[in-house]
Homo-oligomer: A and B are copies of this chain.
Amino acid sequence: MSSTPAAPHGIHEHQAKAPGYAGRKSDHLHRLGKIEGQIRGISRMVTDDRYCIDVLTQITAASRALQEVALGLLDDEVRGCVADAARTDPAQAEDKYTELNDTLRRALRL
């Protein structure tokens, strides 16, 4: 895709340092772009009646690539928000730990 008029300016101001993934943002976007291409390729395989097992192999690859992005974001979150809260705000840190745990629970499909 190409559109997505990228977040209006205002947004960046008030959360300028909120996300912990600033440094790796372009890395995440690069990976996500590749995954989008993988999904499109899988659709094409289905359209072309390609062999089930080959389609499944590609789905597993895309799924793994997606988990890699998730892992990168989790790492950003721990190094950024969680560590930050641990250092500066014990009460908020508690919330962060709980939130991280809930997210992991979903990621692990529990």
Contact = CB atoms under 8 A, between A and B. Distances in A.
Interface string A47-88: 111111101110110111011111101111111111110110
A70 B97 CA distance: 15
Number of copies: 4
A104 B74 contact: yes
A64 B66 CA distance: 11
Contact of A87 (B18, B55, B87): B87
Interface in A94-110: 97, 99-101, 103-110
Contacts of A38: 1
B49 A18 contact: yes
Nearest to A74: B104
Contact of A73 (B55, B69, B78): B55
Contacts of A71: 101, 104-105, 108, 110
A28 B46 contact: yes
Interface string A26-56: 0011001101111111111011111111011
